[in-house]
Structure 1
Amino acid sequence: MKKNKKSILVFGGSNFQLSLIKECLNKNLYTVVIDPNPKAIARLYADAFEVVDGQDFEGTCKVVEKHKTDAIVTAATDKPLVMMAQVAKKYKFNFFSEETAKLCTDKFLMKKKFAELGFPFAKGNVIKTANDEINFPIVIKPTDNSGSRGVVLCKNKNDLENIFKESIQYTQKPYLLAEEFIDGKEYSVESLHFNGKSKIVQITEKIVTPLPYFVELGHIQPALLEKDVHKKLETLIEDVSKAFGFENCGAHNEVKIKDGKITLIEISPRLGGDFISSTLVKASTGINMEKALLQIALDEEPNFSNKKLSVAGIFFFCFEPGIISKINDVKQILNIPEVIDYSFDLKVGDKIPKIVSSIDRYGYFVLKTDNRENLLNLKENIFNQIKINIDKI
Structure 2
Amino acid sequence: MTDPSNTGTVVVIGGRSEREFNVVRDLGYRVVLVDEQVPWHCMPWVDAHLDVDLDDWNAVADAIRAELGDTVPAAVISHTEPRLPLMAHLSGLLVAAPRGLGEAAAANCRDKWRTRTVLTEAGLPVPRFALVTTTEEAVTVAADIGYPVVVKPRDGAGAFGVRCCLSEAELRTAVVALLDSRPGSLEGFLVEEYVDGEEYAVQTVTRGTETSVLSVFRQRMTPPPVFVELGYEHPSGLTEADHDELDKLMRDTLDALGLEDWISHTQIRRGPDGFRVIEVNARRPGGRLVEMTTAVSGVDLTEAVTRQALGLPQAASGPTVPYARYASIVFDEAGTVLYDDYVPTPGPFGPIVEVEIAPGETVQPKEHANGGVYGRIVVYGETAEELDRTHRSVRDALNLQVVLTDGLVPAASDSREFKSCC
Provide the rounded CA distance (Å) in 2 between the counterparts of 1:321 and 1:204.
28
Would you say 1:230 and 2:243 are equivalent positions? yes
Alignment check: 8 A CA contact 1:13 1:43 kept: no
Provide the rounded CA distance (Å) in 2 between the counterparts of 1:177 and 1:154.
13
Alignment check: 8 A CA contact 1:229 1:260 kept: no
Please say which of residues 54-63 and 134-143 is displaced more in the overlay.
Answer: 54-63
Provide the rounded CA distance (Å) in 2 between the counterparts of 1:110 and 1:79.
15
Deviations 1:106-153 (Å, cap 9, x if unpaired)? 111111111111001112112222233123110111011111111111
Would you say 1:166 and 2:177 are equivalent positions? yes
SS in 2 for 1:10: strand
Alignment check: 8 A CA contact 1:187 1:204 kept: yes
Assess, with a 3 A threshold, how the Cα gap between structure 1 residues 379 and 263 changes in structure 2: closer, same or farther: same
Alignment check: 8 A CA contact 1:328 1:386 kept: yes
Assess, with a 3 A threshold, how the Cα gap between structure 1 residues 176 and 376 changes in structure 2: closer, same or farther: farther
Report the alpha carbon displacement of residue 255 of structure 1 after superposing the two structures with TM. 0.5
Q: Which among 69, 78, 83 is matched to residue 80 of structure 1?
A: 83
Provide the rounded CA distance (Å) in 1 between the counterparts of 2:25 and 2:42.
12
Report the alpha carbon displacement of residue 172 of structure 1 after superposing the two structures with TM. 2.7
Report the alpha carbon displacement of residue 18 of structure 1 after superposing the two structures with TM. 3.9
Question: Which AA in structure 1 matches 2:326?
Answer: I
Counterparts of 1:1-393 in structure 2, within 5 Å, are 5-14=7-16, 17-39=17-39, 41-65=41-65, 66-67=67-68, 68-75=72-79, 77-91=80-94, 92-132=97-137, 133=140, 134=142, 135-168=146-179, 169=181, 170-258=183-271, 261-277=274-290, 279-324=291-336, 327-329=338-340, 331-332=341-342, 334=344, 339-355=350-366, 360-383=372-395, 385-391=399-405, 393=409
- The number of equivalent residue pairs is 385
Provide the rounded CA distance (Å) in 1 between the counterparts of 2:154 and 2:274.
25
Provide the rounded CA distance (Å) in 2 between the counterparts of 1:367 and 1:343.
12
Provide the rounded CA distance (Å) in 1 between the counterparts of 2:55 and 2:252.
31
Report the alpha carbon displacement of residue 182 of structure 1 after superposing the two structures with TM. 0.1
Deviations 1:138-187 (Å, cap 9, x if unpaired)? 01110111111111111101112221122331123442211110011111
Structure 2: gaps of 5 or more residues: 410-422
Provide the rounded CA distance (Å) in 1 between the counterparts of 2:345 and 2:297.
24
Give TM-score scaled by structure 2 length.
0.83
SS in 1 for 2:118: helix
Alignment check: 8 A CA contact 1:323 1:349 kept: no
Alignment check: 8 A CA contact 1:252 1:272 kept: yes
Report the alpha carbon displacement of residue 62 of structure 1 after superposing the two structures with TM. 3.1
SS in 1 for 2:236: coil
SS in 2 for 1:334: coil
Assess, with a 3 A threshold, how the Cα gap between structure 1 residues 246 and 372 changes in structure 2: closer, same or farther: farther
Report the alpha carbon displacement of residue 377 of structure 1 after superposing the two structures with TM. 4.5
SS in 2 for 1:332: coil
Alignment check: 8 A CA contact 2:36 2:51 kept: yes
Alignment check: 8 A CA contact 1:142 1:150 kept: yes
Alignment check: 8 A CA contact 1:32 1:47 kept: yes
Provide the rounded CA distance (Å) in 2 between the counterparts of 1:54 and 1:209.
35
Provide the rounded CA distance (Å) in 1 between the counterparts of 2:384 and 2:132.
42
Q: Percent identity?
A: 21
Provide the rounded CA distance (Å) in 2 between the counterparts of 1:122 and 1:84.
29
Assess, with a 3 A threshold, how the Cα gap between structure 1 residues 335 and 195 changes in structure 2: closer, same or farther: closer
Alignment check: 8 A CA contact 2:217 2:234 kept: yes
Give TM-score scaled by structure 1 length.
0.89
SS in 1 for 2:147: coil
Provide the rounded CA distance (Å) in 1 between the counterparts of 2:346 and 2:302.
27
Please say which of residues 349-358 and 266-275 is displaced more in the overlay.
Answer: 349-358
Question: Which AA in structure 2 matches 1:10?
Answer: V
Provide the rounded CA distance (Å) in 2 between the counterparts of 1:333 and 1:151.
36
Assess, with a 3 A threshold, how the Cα gap between structure 1 residues 304 and 203 changes in structure 2: closer, same or farther: farther
Question: Which AA in structure 2 matches 1:187?
Answer: Y
Provide the rounded CA distance (Å) in 1 between the counterparts of 2:60 and 2:37.
14
SS in 2 for 1:282: helix
> How large is the Cα RMSD of the aligned pairs?
2.6
Alignment check: 8 A CA contact 1:149 1:358 kept: no
